[in-house]
Structure 1
């Protein structure tokens, strides 16, 4: 049964809990919009879905009802207790308790293990008690045993985690066939950013190289409880069968270096990197004015040896 504002409040009140702003807990309560997001993802029964920040399980309910296998990662221990209680015994539900990120540069090993996806480098260590650990980071609990690695990301993403999570999935995990997410409008504008605009940057380049980017819907604050101070949007990022560039991660790193000085002329930026402007490229152009195709060509010419 779909959760209402009243039922969410009751769940939290029974445990002496309230939404935590630090975790970006604004629950999507508009059922029509929720279904619109899942419809856009075009999930099918048996498909593995990664959901980050499930909260009380509003979106999780609908995904499970459609026959999906849901791997949900939740950092709030109180919410984890609610999720365990609500979905106890459901074989299609796997809860990863802890941070979805391993630092800023990788998805947590426990999340990848639950999905059946190898990490960027190395592997998670699983103890006899079933707790996965990664380096010096705190333990993350997960049921291990994926379905071969293919998955789709559908989530009402916590605002603080949105950019790193999406960047990592797009750049390093081609097993993810698409990202269908509710995010802050500012982040969505950056995903679809065009050259010459303030929104255009490394995230724009990465998204457009790896995915077809489109808007699903704009959501006013009234679609959430509690209401956020910002406008949100739902975005569809459907992975291209073949990315426009063979090295999205390397291209992203190169673009970060260029856009750190986005207002400087290209010749000055490259000089600082110990490089020269290739023949045929305007030395006075700025990174923010270069198209995705131009940035890819520049990376091929000078960036790979950076």
Structure 2
């Protein structure tokens, strides 16, 4: 979960700061921490400020939060609201949202990204866990047929049962894929990524605002690095990830201790998946291998088959018998799995 600092009333910079994953720009240090008892005063002070030209969604966000009574963003839900409309526009552009698209949005919050999606001509299916915010978004956009808001926890929401009929209705049963576009709560990012990426039959792309460090790690599948983990193999098994750009932390309310970033996942169809007999069996082997990340595979995979059999399989795919999990690419793991399951 991302720890939050004070609810700073200072407007954000006017635009995101594009950057490559490994090259980070300097940002001012976050303000000193305020206790939760100060948050209400910060919200009231921010609401009382005069509108400032170029402030984008800052004052609109604060007014929205207070439209149905004072609402303090909930740390437990990872609520960090986007203050900068230009960032929302860049997010929509990164997803290639066009007129007639159907989009799943997770955690719409005050509806600032929702507005950008609707403006682009999309029909939006929004899933919001917070009852207060779900009602706020419904009230903000009225009874438009281009928006449906569901009050639900996305991690418990059955997408195929509820979103698929909605998508088919809007596409008039045409064979077309929807998209996921979301400023995702940082504290559920990995869980949601694991939920969505295997759904290439429903979605063509998943474009998310994540914590910058998470986005960098998911986009980079370099072997023999400390960051190389099973999630990298999962991401590349089901999609083609691309880091888009970094978003300064001061564009969020409350301001988190970390920057955000946009990452795009182009989902693969089932016929594009690596050729394994069972994805469940494959990822079970991968997870077992990384449970002993510093161990040689001939030891960490002993529960599957003998050390000599693992060594023979490694030799067969051109790897040393002393190989560790961080030495293997996705293709290496696929070939190793297919050899071992035949033993």
TM-score (normalizing by structure 1): 0.81
Is the contact made by 2:285 and 2:301 (CA closer than 8 Å) also made in structure 1? Answer: no
**For 2:287 and 2:106, how far apart are their aligned partners in 1?**
25
1:171 and 2:202 matched: no
Please give the alpha-carbon distance, in whole angstroms, between the structure 1 residues aligned to 2:150 and 2:168: 10
Aligned partners of 1:44 and 1:246: how far apart in 2? 33
The answer to whether the aligner puts 1:112 opposite 2:181 as a matched pair is no
CA distance in structure 2 between the aligned counterparts of 1:299 and 1:115, rounded to whole angstroms: 34
The 1:210–1:300 alpha-carbon spacing in structure 2 relative to 1, beyond 3 Å, is same
Report the number of matched residues.
274
Change (3 A) 1:186 1:112: same
* 1:1-306 alignment, distance < 5 Å: 4-14=57-67, 15-102=69-156, 108-109=157-158, 111-116=159-164, 147=171, 148=173, 150-191=177-218, 192-240=220-268, 242-246=271-275, 249-250=279-280, 251-275=282-306, 276-277=309-310, 278=313, 279-280=315-316, 281-302=319-340
What whole-Å deviation, never above 9, does each CA across 1:194-228 have from its counterpart, x for those lacking one? 11112211211122232222111011211211111
What's the Cα RMSD here?
A: 2.5
Is the partner of 1:101 in helix, strand or coil?
A: helix
For the 8 Å contact 1:214–1:235, the answer to whether it is kept is: yes
Deviations 1:261-304 (A, max 9, x none): 21110000111334531142433111112111101111222258
Give SS of 2:155's match: coil
Task: Output the CA distance in 1 between the equivalents of 2:120 and 2:129.
Answer: 25
Structure 2 distance, partners of 1:304, 1:70, is: 46
Change (3 A) 1:274 1:162: same
- TM-score, length basis structure 2: 0.73
Q: Which residue of 1 aligns with 2:6?
A: none
More helix by proportion, 1 or 2? 2
- Structure 1 residue 3 displacement after superposition: 6.4
Q: Give yes or no for contact 2:110–2:133 (8 Å, CA) kept in 1.
A: yes
CA contact (8 A) 1:26 1:224 kept: yes
Cα distance in 1, alignment partners of residues 211 and 244 from structure 2: 13
Structure 2 residue runs of 5 or longer lacking an equivalent are: 1-54
Larger RCO, structures 1/2 (Cα 8 Å, 6+ apart):
2
Larger Rg over CA atoms: 2
Deviations 1:17-70 (A, max 9, x none): 111111111112222222111111111211111111110111000101111111
Task: Write out the 4+ residue segments of structure 1 that deviate beyond 6 Å after TM superposition.
Answer: none
